[in-house]
Amino acid sequence: MTEIMNGSHTAGDPVLRVTDLKMHFPVRSKGLFPKTIGQVKAVDGVSFDVQPGETLGLVGESGCGKSTTGRTALRLLEPTSGKVEMDGIDVTRMSAKDMVPLRRKAAMIFQDPYNALNPRHTVGAIIGAPFAVQGVEPAGGVRAAVRDLMDRVGLNPEHYNRYPAEFSGGQRQRIGIARAVALRPHFIVCDEPVSALDVSIQAQVINLLRDLQDDFGIAYLFVAHDLAVVRQISHRVAVMYLGHVMELTSREELYARPLHPYTHALLSAIPVPDPRAQKNREHILLSGDLPSPVNPPSGCVFHTRCFVAQDICKVDKPVIREFEPGHQVACHFPITEYLGSTPIVGPDPGLTAESELEGMQDGDPMEQAGDADLIHEPGTNYTDGTDSLIDPGPGLWR
């Protein structure tokens, strides 16, 4: 694949390079002798790189595989196939033990600032944990380093001994960020870091992430569903759909001259807070829902909902290619012009694979962002109510 260099970044090894990454989760039948009855192709052949100090945005709707990609990039998941390189080192099959020193160079920020922090630990302990885990003794001691970090991310260092519950959502996300940058990593995967926050707080956190990048030269893989947020922080953006990267280019290109019909649809689906401008924007309505990643469409995975699809799209899977310098797209018929504000309605893919998804045990155990768990089995969710049976109950005293 062709490597795209952003002019402002030095050549050399990218902090992250992912080549033809595939992450398939087996779907098993239940019972005594479970059989693999299918694969959830959460990520199905994705390639990109992240240069030092750069932000690569990874956008798409729920179930497109963006979160799985992010987690696999940090080797929190072992990929089915493909290659993951960090700072030029192949870590695809590296053991957890060998990964330890590399973990210092990479970190993660999670979507939900409520669940990602241990409620029983003080903020100081949470932010200082990476030092202890990696056995790093910062100059001046851990306590001072943590206070510096708190100050840096906009938290009051006096609150060192408070617990996460005493902070608001935005402040908790700042705690998560302080923990992530504690060891000055080269690279951070941000998984929907602002989608749980209120608008006015989102802007604060985005600005903080940009400032930290400027100061420390951290590269981000910024996973999000909100194209407007991604635009605010990314240098380059990759658009994902059903496990594939559909388009990858610089931010300026993507938002001004999108090529892929899916990108057009996605951009037009987001109303802008500007009623007059809204009337002149492209107006593309996709029909139906995302097809099942267990049984993705043949050819181009987007062809069932695509408004420019031709017969070839049903059989021939488009390979991602450099359509223009620095602008990659996986489409047989890229759209190079403004489509006008007359509504365009995509074809109806018919009933979606919802029913196929049933009985599936777990699609992607790690994909949390907005992916609703549609499956209930005996012994999972619904028996929660009977958990109290584990209580001593009256049985012992009958």
Partner 1 sequence: MTDLTPTPRRAYIEVEDLSVQFPTEDGVVRAVDGVTFAIDKGQTIAIVGESGSGKSVTAQAIMGLVNARTADVTGHVWIDGQDVVGMTDDELRKMRGSTMAMIFQDPMSSLHPFYRIGAQLTEAVNVHNKVSKKEARDRAIEMLHKVGIPSPEKRIEDYPHQFSGGMRQRVMIAMALINSPSLLIADEPTTALDVTVQAQIMELILELQQEYNTAVVLITHDLGIVADAADQVAVMYGARVVESGVIDDIFYAPEMPYTLGLLASVPRLNQVRAERLDPIPGNPPSPIRLPSGCVFNPRCVYTDRVEGDLCATERPALLPTSPGHMVRCHMSKEERGVVATIALRGLGREET
Partner 2 sequence: MSAYVVRRVISMILLLLLLTFVVFVLFSLLPTDPARLTCGKSCTPEIIEANRHRLGLDLPVIQQYWEYLKGIFVGRTFAKDSPDPVVCSAPCLGYSFKRGEEVFVLIKEGFPATFWLALGAFVLWLAAGISVGVYAALRRGKWQDKTVMGISLAGYSLPSFFLGLMAIFFIVIRLQLLPYPSYVSPFENPTQFLQTMILPWIVLAILYAAFYMRLTRNQMLEVLGEDYIRTARAKGLPERIVIRKHALRAGLTPIVTAAGLDLAGLLGGAIITESIFSLPGIGSLAVNSVNDADLPLIVGITLVTATFIIVANLIVDLLYAVIDPRVRLT
Which one, of 186, 162, 190, 187, lies nearest residue 176 by Cα?
190
Query: Coil, strand, or helix at residue 151?
Result: helix
State the minimum distance, in angstroms, from the CB of residue 296 to partner 2. 22
Query: Coil, strand, or helix at residue 178?
Result: helix
State the minimum distance, in angstroms, from the CB of residue 342 to partner 1. 14
Q: Which residues of 221-252 are buried (b: 16+ CB within 10 A; e: fewer)?
A: bbbbbebebbbbbbbbbbbbbbbbbbbbbbbe
Which one, of 304, 301, 313, 261, lies nearest residue 284 by Cα?
261
Contact by Cβ (8 Å): 76, 67: no
Which one, of 370, 374, 365, lies nearest residue 23 by Cα?
365
Phi and psi at 227, nearest 5°, equal -65, -30
Identify which range of 170-178, 256-264, 269-277, 383-391 contacts partner 2 by CB under 8 A.
383-391
Contact by Cβ (8 Å): 238, 245: yes
User: Which of partner 1, partner 2, none lies near 342, with the C-beta cut-off 5 to 8 A by kind?
Assistant: none
Identify which range of 25-33, 83-91, 166-174, 226-234 contacts partner 2 by CB under 8 A.
25-33
Binding of partner 2 by 36 (CB under 8 A): no
Which one, of 208, 211, 236, lies nearest residue 221 by Cα?
236
β-strand pairing of 89-90 with 81-86: antiparallel
Which residues in the 194-213 window bind partner 1 by CB under 8 A?
A: 198-204, 206-207, 210
Q: How far apart are CA 328 and CA 108, in angstroms?
A: 27
Q: Give the residue, chosen from 101, 273, 325, 378, that forms a contact with partner 2 under the rule CB under 8 A.
A: 378
Q: Give the residue, chosen from 30, 93, 143, 321, that forms a contact with partner 2 under the rule CB under 8 A.
A: 30
Binding of partner 2 by 370 (CB under 8 A): no
Tokens of 53: 């100090």
Identify which range of 81-89, 135-143, 226-234, 328-336 contacts partner 1 by CB under 8 A.
226-234
Contact by Cβ (8 Å): 326, 250: yes
Q: Which x/- pattern, by CB under 8 A, does the window 169-188 give for partner 1?
A: -xx-----------------
Binding of partner 1 by 339 (CB under 8 A): no
Binding of partner 2 by 390 (CB under 8 A): no
Place of tokens 């940058």: 181
User: Which of partner 2, partner 1, none lies near 29, with the C-beta cut-off 5 to 8 A by kind?
Assistant: partner 2
Residues 6+ positions from 79 with CB-CB distance below 8 Å: 21, 22, 23, 43, 72, 92
State the minimum distance, in angstroms, from the CB of residue 231 to partner 1. 5
Binding of partner 1 by 251 (CB under 8 A): yes
State the minimum distance, in angstroms, from the CB of residue 20 to partner 1. 27
Which residues in the 362-381 window bind partner 1 by CB under 8 A?
A: 370, 372, 374, 376
State the minimum distance, in angstroms, from the CB of residue 191 to partner 2. 26
Binding of partner 2 by 355 (CB under 8 A): no
User: Which of partner 1, partner 2, none lies near 277, with the C-beta cut-off 5 to 8 A by kind?
Assistant: partner 1
Question: Distance between alpha carbon 59 and the CA centroid of its chain, in Å?
Answer: 7
How large is the angle between the packed helices 169-181 and 123-134, nearest 10 degrees?
20
Identify which range of 24-32, 54-62, 133-141, 291-299 contacts partner 2 by CB under 8 A.
24-32
DSSP letter, residue 11: -
Helix or strand holding residue 275 (H, E): helix 275-280
Binding site for partner 2 (CB under 8 A): 29-32, 358-359, 375-378, 382-386, 388-389, 393-395, 397-398
Binding site for partner 1 (CB under 8 A): 61-62, 168, 170-171, 198-204, 206-207, 210, 225-229, 231-232, 251, 255, 265-278, 280-281, 285-287, 289-290, 348, 350-352, 354-355, 358, 370, 372, 374, 376
